[in-house]
Amino acid sequence: MLLQFGSMGQFTHTQKIGHSPVAAHFGLTPRRYQSGEIDNPGRISKAGDRDVRAALYAAANAMMMRSVASSEIKSWGLRLMRRKGRRRAVVAVARKLAVIMHRIWADNTEFRHGKMEGTV
């Protein structure tokens, strides 16, 4: 995954207006079909590296379903799961993990367990 982040020096900001360019790089943003008055957000775009996307999904799924440890990301994902369903919630958590990992890599910092800030 670090090799994929190595090619991501082009992303100076993790979050811009709308979707994160980091999540878009890994194909974790919704596809859109727009024609006239029709605006249909579809499934995830599946752009980028399939293996990295699968690893992020597996990590998010393990965090949500298997982990007994509590975290703010897991709590957020479980609330989302009640509203939107398991698959959408796991993809959203995977997207959030990708953004957090990119920030850690870009800032050369360690993960600090605490309140989430600026990760959408």
Q: How confident is the model at residue 74, as a pLDDT?
A: 92
Judge whether 28 and 50 are in contact, CB under 8 Å.
no
pLDDT digits (tens, 9 = 90+) for 75-110: 999 999 999 999 889 988 998 888 888 778 777 788
- Chain-centroid distance of CA 111 in Å reads 16
How many Cβ atoms from other residues are within 10 Å of residue 113's Cβ?
A: 8
pLDDT digits (tens, 9 = 90+) for 6-24: 555 555 555 543 456 677 7
pLDDT over 90, % of the chain: 20
How many Cβ atoms from other residues are within 10 Å of residue 23's Cβ?
A: 27
Q: How far apart are CA 60 and CA 103, in angstroms?
A: 17
Question: Would you give the DSSP letter of residue 42?
Answer: E
